[in-house]
Amino acid sequence: MVLLTACLSPALLGQGKALTVEDMMKFRQVEGPVISKDGAWVAYQARPGRGDGQGLVRAVDGSASYTVDRGASPAISGNSAWAAFVIEPSFAAQQKAAEKKSEDKPKNGLALVNLSNGQQTDFENVQRFAFSPDGQWLAYHRFKEEGEKDQEKDEEASQPEEPEEPEAAEAEEEEKPEKRKNAGTTLILRRLSDGSERELQWVKGWAFDEQSRYLAYAQASEDGQGNGLRLTSLEESPQETALSESADGVYESLTWSKDSGRLAYLQAVADQDGKAGPAQLRIWDGPGDVQAAVDDAETPEGWMIPLEHNSLRFSKDEARLFVGLRPRQPDEMEEDDAEDGDEGEEEEEPSDPYDVGEILEKREVDVWHWNDPRIKTHEKDSYQQRSRSTFGAVYHLDSNRLVKLADEEVPRLIPSENPNTALLISDVPYLQEITWVGFNQDAYLVDLENGQRKLAAKRVSGPLELSPDGRYLAYFQVDNWWLYDFQTDTKRLLTAEMEVPFYDEDHDYPSPRPGYGSPGWLEDSSALLIYDKYDIWKFPAQKGSAAIDCLTDGRGREEERIFRVVDTDPDSDFIAADGALLLTSYHDKQKNDGWYRLKMSQGGLERLLEQAKKFDFIARAEEADRLLYTREDYDEFPDLWVASSDFADAVKVSTVNPQISEFAWGTSELVEWNSLDGIPLQGVLIKPGNYQPGQRYPVLVYFYRFFSQRLHEFNEVVINHRPNFPFYASNGYAVFLPDIRFEVGRPGFSATKCLVPGVQKLIDMGVADPQAIGLHGHSWSGYQTAFVVTQTDIFAAAVAGAPVSNMTSAYGGIRWGSGLSRQFQYEQSQSRIGASLWEDLPAYIENSPVFYADRIHTPLLIQFGDEDGAVPWTQGIELYMAMRRLRKPAVFLQYRGEPHHLQKYANKLDYTLKMKEFFDHFLKGAPAPKWWIEGAAYEGK
């Protein structure tokens, strides 16, 4: 506590007090918010940075509010009568288990809240829960009980010994079945009206049907007895129906259709270790027998249905069922009919020390071939995902046919609600190019009846929009939207003749310019909606059938407002031609948000609400005109609000951090200036709490690319690798968040040309102390920070987190988090060089701070985790070694075992404190911390 007091005890400034790290730890975040179907209740978790959270459920009209200690992941029943929360283990219990590194970690529980009276019922040891869709039932699935195995042993030991013949005992031991792995656990089915419960044993998987008639559950016991798939009816007099009974049977992917009540599932046979063989697809179609939809012998030659890592999906008309296939492995091609060997273990022959083959069996080598599709690190990183991948197929329920659609050459299926066509995507031709170009793919339309494909578009990196009728595919390529007609096998440009661009107008990368996306097709496939930077356009699918229409009447571009469609119905894949759309509005210059309504059939844009705030949509109540959203500002926490669709009766339903008013939070305002190249720029100035006009303040500059949109954003009060704005503002700093516009081939110089005049603007405004300006950046802006201080001495101190310091050595490295090469980042992406190392070596050198370290006169704090998967931490070593050799003031903070962003709380806190001490010393004249003056000796841990 001495350290905390020493560096974080500024006197209270005027009316508001300064934030401390202890205060920051207590700030809470809203997580998992949900709204009831009738729109009357909202539930959420309030989670602090440190300590135990709370679950809260509140009536929108303010008539009731209930709290659940340590409640998380809330759910509200379909009849809006009940709420349930996961009860997380206490913070203390989690910390204790972490310190002991115990595998037996504390387990979650469950809280059930009666919304009519607030009565809470708790259940322990719950791994999963769900309400039935009608809200009449709650199912909760227990973890394996602790000490269960020990209890079994104790029970066996407590049985009285009976004399028996040795032979008889031996025979009995032989007949005793071995315990199987992956056994299920207890599932409790609770009738919510009276609290009565049914206990179902050895349950592995389960699912309610959409009509709340049945619960399907798969059982897997330790001895195989009673294994099977069963239904229990959700009626006054429950009935059990066995769909399948098999000691070796295993069942996965229990999937109910929404309307007809069909149950689809996968069934396989497993060995004693729980390893399952090829699966069979089964469908139960009501009271009748189970339909053997696809047996293993009926799959396409060389293919099988895997039981695990698979999923089933009914089409909305329930005429088709999508399922995954996998190539059959050599040992799965046919049954192993080899005769069993002799009982007992064979004696191992002595090892031959000169047996070359036996020696080579222990080798550990990876062969990197120049023509491999993936480099070895990416191949390894993606191995588990690829080995578990399935390839899409469709089962037609009317004709009982399975049609294979995807395969290893065209692997990804995007199912469609169209009965005839779906979309296939393949990146296989471009796997090698990922290394230096990035990601591209080919798009195919596939016939669901016969699996035949037509190539629709090659080398596409943007979005793909398939029309509801499956006839058209829209995609963005080379600055324009294209439309492929599956019926005529032709394509045409949609946007080429338009007066406004549909590519990203702010794109400053060497890669092709992307589009702004699309909210989707009209439900009748007559038109596609497309965004430009500001407006929403309707393009008819058939050329000349109708005029291209700007649905927002050009007001977006005229008023510099960016309009976007809000998806208020996740179950709807398309846009009703005669419906009303909820739009968000973001003013590109003033940085504020608003809500608008667009009437598709009548036309016209109606403003519903616009304020100097930021809004975020969360959800719409399924059965009421109620929207759940957040409202925020720099000094307003994003609490939850509920309103009708016209926002006339908005109600705030949460107050998560009322203590904000106690602190000198500061205020935000927009600042404008020009770069050294004359480019207009914007940024956010956060003035210190209790700001006094005419007084100059130390300034912390924090940046990345565009940050002016943060004018009305609440800065999350957490302790991590970033400087917290209110923390610094309440402690007497101004904070500056400038925009950066980049020039391809000169990213470092671009940052300098934007930052320096921005800082000068603050000096000219009389806000900034010109001798007390600090710079902080992490990752991409960590690089910029390291480069900028080689070009200017305007900054009194700088912090560079995870910076690239030498582009020539970083270029050929690996992003260990994904296994991908870093080359594409420099040639096409964020680093913006736009050429390979051999094509433009001078650009790599000129943009590398390590080559100009002799020009750095700014005290520099460098931070890295030594398991950084994005930027090689050796980049920090290179910069540190240069500074050390040149006798420049620098400290390198190496956090052991940490990735790109610090994860361990102690390390995040340490970095937060050191960062603050560093800036306090150089910008406010506080005594230098000991670690800056003397360093810290290694202590053997």
pLDDT digits (tens, 9 = 90+) for 603-629: 789 999 999 999 999 999 999 999 999
Lowest mean pLDDT of 8-17, 22-31, 212-221, 640-649, name the range: 8-17
Q: What is the pLDDT of residue 350?
A: 63
Lowest mean pLDDT of 44-53, 461-470, 899-908, name the range: 461-470
d(CA 201, CA 205): 11
Span between the terminal Cα atoms of the chain, in Å = 22
Which pLDDT band, with edges at 50, 70 and 90, does 174 fall under?
Answer: very low
d(CA 49, CA 21): 10
Q: Which range, 163-172, 177-186, 299-308, has the best average confidence (pLDDT)?
A: 299-308
The predicted model gives 447-472 an average pLDDT of 94
Which pLDDT band, with edges at 50, 70 and 90, does 544 fall under?
Answer: confident
Q: What is the pLDDT of residue 98?
A: 85
- Residues above pLDDT 70, as percent of the chain: 93
Contact 481, 530 (CB under 8 A): yes
Q: What is the pLDDT of residue 236?
A: 77
The predicted model gives 127-136 an average pLDDT of 97
The predicted model gives 704-724 an average pLDDT of 97
d(CA 316, CA 574): 13
The predicted model gives 472-481 an average pLDDT of 96
Lowest mean pLDDT of 161-175, 235-249, 257-271, name the range: 161-175
Q: What is the pLDDT of residue 176?
A: 54
Per-residue pLDDT tens over the stretch 856-867: 999 999 999 999
The predicted model gives 10-38 an average pLDDT of 86
pLDDT tops 50 at residue 539: yes
Beta bridge partners of 514: none
- Nearest in space to 762 (alpha carbons), one of 836, 681, 883, 864: 681
The residue that leads in pLDDT, 714 or 546, is: 714
Give residues with Cβ within 8 angstroms of 614, minimum separation 6: 592, 593, 631, 632, 633, 638, 712, 713, 714
Residue 663, number of CB atoms within 10 A of its CB: 22
Beta-strand ranges (E) seen in 79-123 are 82-87, 109-114, 120-123
Tokens of 708: 């002016």
**How many contiguous H segments (helices) and E segments (strands) does the chain have?**
18, 54
Amino acid at residue number 510: P
d(CA 786, CA 782): 6
pLDDT tops 70 at residue 789: yes
Q: What is the pLDDT of residue 173?
A: 44
Q: What is the pLDDT of residue 692?
A: 96
Q: What is the pLDDT of residue 120?
A: 98
Query: What are the phi and psi torsion angles at 569 (to 5°)?
Result: -135, 90
Query: What are the phi and psi torsion angles at 692 (to 5°)?
Result: -115, 115
Residue position matching structure tokens 């007992």: 344
Q: What is the pLDDT of residue 178?
A: 67
Q: What is the pLDDT of residue 717?
A: 96
Q: What is the pLDDT of residue 274?
A: 74
Q: What is the pLDDT of residue 157?
A: 44
The predicted model gives 743-755 an average pLDDT of 97
d(CA 215, CA 230): 8
Residue position matching structure tokens 């295993």: 250
Tokens of 600: 């598709």
pLDDT tops 60 at residue 749: yes
Contact 415, 425 (CB under 8 A): no
The predicted model gives 380-398 an average pLDDT of 91
Per-residue pLDDT tens over the stretch 137-156: 999 999 987 554 444 444 44
Q: What is the pLDDT of residue 170?
A: 39
Element at 485 (helix H, strand E): strand 480-485
d(CA 315, CA 87): 36
Give residues with Cβ within 8 angstroms of 221, minimum separation 6: 180, 183, 184, 201, 202, 227
Per-residue pLDDT tens over the stretch 95-122: 988 888 777 889 999 999 999 999 999 9
Burial grade of 657 (CB within 10 A; 0-12, 13-18, 19 or more): buried
Q: What is the pLDDT of residue 547?
A: 83
Per-residue pLDDT tens over the stretch 243-287: 999 999 999 999 999 998 999 999 999 887 778 899 999 999 877
Buried b (16+ CB within 10 A) or exposed e, 19-39: bbbebbbebbbbebbbbbbbb
Q: What is the pLDDT of residue 182?
A: 83
pLDDT tops 60 at residue 333: no
Per-residue pLDDT tens over the stretch 835-846: 999 999 999 999
Tokens of 576: 């009703």
Q: What is the pLDDT of residue 348?
A: 57
Q: What is the pLDDT of residue 741?
A: 97
The mean pLDDT value of the chain amounts to 91
Total-model pTM = 0.91
pLDDT tops 80 at residue 341: no
The predicted model gives 430-452 an average pLDDT of 94
Q: What is the pLDDT of residue 286?
A: 79
Per-residue pLDDT tens over the stretch 482-503: 999 999 999 999 998 899 999 9
pLDDT tops 50 at residue 342: no
CA-to-CA dists, residue 137 to 36, 458, 769, angstroms: 16, 50, 65
Q: What is the pLDDT of residue 561?
A: 97
